[in-house]
């Protein structure tokens, strides 16, 4: 999750209200005590909650991390669709898997990811992701807090239910997670699969991860619970789409600011002509309701509106993003990934007969990419869809001309021209 300073303050207040941390305890804490804002999921179909936990509660006796001394943990590509510079790189690691159980971890990770990528728009845009598996070897099988609070396991990442006394809150040692994530070729998002059938998980914001971490957030989920994949799907909504939580807390009152929320799925404008998702108003939504303005969201009961009655950003009882959420997620995909890549550098001039080969990300379903070629800004219709051309074939004669390959995603899941522009990728070469 990427939270602003204001959002962090809201979450801290929400945590105090719902019982994660009481205000007296916060006042009594020493200023030097580091805390982490964590989103957790109290039940398989429940609305998420926000809590603030002391990072000291996650600290373990200092010891070498299993696998980081001696033998470096194996890193394997579960899915590699393009260069790390042009992809969202998802790093998945397991906790509570011994050396003999690493094959089980790989199978569990693949099953969990298949479930997450079964949710739109992840399904259609899976080709914009690389997925890396990192084998974190634990001394013991299973994780702490399963099945009861007094169960303690010696694991690589310190996964534990009953974090800060909350049974379904599955915390990890984020310092260890950061070390393991650094072994992958790149890391934009990190998932931790805990070796357990118990329902639970958590979402960590990038702001609360160890200093120097470059990834957007961490999500934890149990391996063998058939609903825990929705935790990962929800958390990606934060880290990729910057979507706000749409749930609310009873008694939390009216949204306290007159400033329009920056997130795409909340607004202060109930008037249908001025709401930011006006292009979608009235559309039948995959969540089951028509797109409109439904009061409540961002933890508040009144004064702020969301686009649909429910969605995956409101409750895990829903397995769908709204059409507004889908469009926003697609914009997030393209903000960090490219549908068009090439191994031929654009920084150096090329000859008229030099072959230009481009690669398209393997997109499906909702996605509708079209490849077109241009010379000095004029389209060459005969080359549409060609993955390999030469400037000469495109009609270039002489030097100083520019050849451009452009992929535009014409999916009907996008209605905002700004998002359409984000979903357009171009590469340009100068002909010497």
* CATH number, residue 345: 2.60.40
- Mean pLDDT of the 214-219 span: 88
Residue 8's pLDDT band (boundaries 50, 70, 90)? Answer: very low
- The reported pTM is 0.88
Domain boundary among 239, 261, 277: 239
Kindly report the CATH number assigned to the domain that includes residue 37.
Answer: 3.40.390.10
217 in helix, strand or coil?
strand
Residue 33's pLDDT band (boundaries 50, 70, 90)? Answer: low
Domain boundary among 192, 221, 239: 239
Query: What pLDDT shows up at residue 254?
Result: 97
User: Which pLDDT tens digit goes with each residue over 102-114?
Assistant: 999 999 999 999 9
Domain boundary among 239, 264, 289: 239
Residue 62's pLDDT band (boundaries 50, 70, 90)? Answer: very low
Percent of the chain with pLDDT strictly greater than 70: 88
Same domain, 100 and 192: yes
- Mean pLDDT of the 234-255 span: 95
More confident residue, 101 or 62: 101
Per the structure, the count of domains in the chain is 3
Query: What pLDDT shows up at residue 60?
Result: 52
Percent of the chain with pLDDT strictly greater than 90: 78
| Residue 6 confidence (pLDDT) above 70 | no
Are residues 56 and 29 in contact, defined by beta-carbon separation less than 8 angstroms? no
Cα–Cα distance measured from residue 328 to residue 373, given in angstroms and rounded to the nearest whole number: 28
Same domain, 250 and 231: no
- Mean pLDDT of the 209-238 span: 91
Same domain, 174 and 42: yes
Cα–Cα distance measured from residue 379 to residue 424, given in angstroms and rounded to the nearest whole number: 15
Same domain, 185 and 62: yes
Query: What pLDDT shows up at residue 362?
Result: 97
Same domain, 327 and 345: no
Same domain, 199 and 300: no
- Mean pLDDT of the 200-220 span: 85
Query: What pLDDT shows up at residue 271?
Result: 81
Same domain, 137 and 197: yes
Same domain, 323 and 227: no
Same domain, 60 and 112: yes
Query: What pLDDT shows up at residue 333?
Result: 97
Query: What pLDDT shows up at residue 47?
Result: 84
| Residue 361 confidence (pLDDT) above 70 | yes
Same domain, 89 and 210: yes
Cα–Cα distance measured from residue 220 to residue 210, given in angstroms and rounded to the nearest whole number: 16
Neighbours of 26 (CB within 10 A): 15
Q: Would you give the end-to-end CA distance of the chain in angstroms?
A: 45
**What Rg value do the Cα atoms of the chain yield, rounded?**
23
Q: Where are the beta strands (DSSP E) in 223-297?
A: 294-297
Over the range 138-161, which residues count as b (16 or more CB within 10 Å of their CB) and which as e? bebebbbbbeeeeeebebbbbbbb
Structural domain containing residue 332: 245-337
Same domain, 116 and 175: yes
Tokens of 384: 């549409």
Residue 212's pLDDT band (boundaries 50, 70, 90)? Answer: confident
- Mean pLDDT of the 322-349 span: 97
More confident residue, 21 or 46: 46
More confident residue, 35 or 131: 131
| Residue 32 confidence (pLDDT) above 90 | no
The DSSP element (H or E) to which 174 belongs, if any, is helix 174-181
Residue 152's pLDDT band (boundaries 50, 70, 90)? Answer: very high
| Residue 27 confidence (pLDDT) above 60 | no
Same domain, 274 and 343: no
């Amino acid at each position: 999750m990427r939270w602003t300073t204001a959002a962090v303050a809201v979450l801290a207040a929400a945590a105090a209200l719902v019982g994660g941390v009481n205000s007296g305890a916060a006042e009594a804490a020493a200023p030097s005590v580091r805390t982490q804002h964590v989103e957790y999921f109290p039940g398989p179909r429940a609305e998420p909650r926000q809590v603030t936990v002391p990072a000291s509660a996650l600290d373990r006796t200092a010891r070498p991390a299993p696998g980081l001394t001696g033998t470096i943990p194996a890193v394997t590509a579960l899915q590699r669709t393009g260069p790390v510079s042009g992809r969202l790189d998802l790093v998945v690691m397991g906790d509570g898997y011994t050396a003999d159980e690493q094959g089980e971890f790989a199978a569990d990770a693949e099953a969990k990811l298949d479930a997450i990528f079964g949710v739109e728009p992840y399904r259609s845009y899976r080709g914009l992701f690389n997925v890396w598996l990192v084998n974190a070897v634990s001394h013991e099988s299973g994780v702490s807090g399963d099945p009861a609070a007094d169960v303690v396991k010696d694991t690589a990442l310190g996964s534990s239910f009953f974090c800060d006394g909350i049974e379904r809150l599955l915390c990890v040692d984020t310092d260890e997670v950061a070390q393991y994530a650094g072994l992958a070729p790149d890391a934009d998002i990190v998932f931790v699969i805990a070796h357990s059938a118990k329902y639970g998980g958590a979402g960590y914001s990038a702001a609360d991860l160890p200093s120097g971490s470059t990834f957007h957030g961490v999500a934890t989920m149990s391996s063998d619970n058939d609903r825990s994949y929705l935790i990962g799907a929800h958390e990606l909504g934060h880290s990729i789409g910057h979507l706000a939580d749409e749930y609310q807390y009873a008694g939390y009152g009216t949204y306290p600011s007159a400033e329009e929320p920056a997130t795409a799925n909340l607004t202060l404008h109930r008037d249908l002509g001025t709401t930011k998702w006006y292009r979608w108003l009235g559309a039948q939504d995959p969540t089951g309701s028509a797109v409109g303005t439904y009061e409540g969201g961002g933890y508040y009961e009144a004064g702020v509106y969301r686009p649909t009655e429910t969605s995956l950003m409101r409750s895990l009882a829903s397995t769908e993003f709204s059409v507004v959420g889908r469009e926003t997620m697609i914009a997030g995909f393209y903000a960090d990934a490219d549908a068009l890549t090439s191994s031929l550098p654009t920084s150096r001039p090329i000859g008229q007969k030099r072959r230009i080969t481009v690669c398209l990300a393997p997109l499906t379903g909702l996605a509708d990419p079209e490849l077109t070629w241009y010379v000095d800004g004029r389209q060459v219709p005969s080359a549409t869809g060609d993955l390999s051309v030469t400037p000469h074939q495109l009609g270039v004669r002489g030097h100083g001309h520019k050849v451009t390959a452009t992929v535009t995603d014409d999916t009907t899941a996008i209605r905002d021209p700004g998002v359409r522009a984000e979903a357009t990728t171009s590469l340009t070469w100068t002909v010497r």
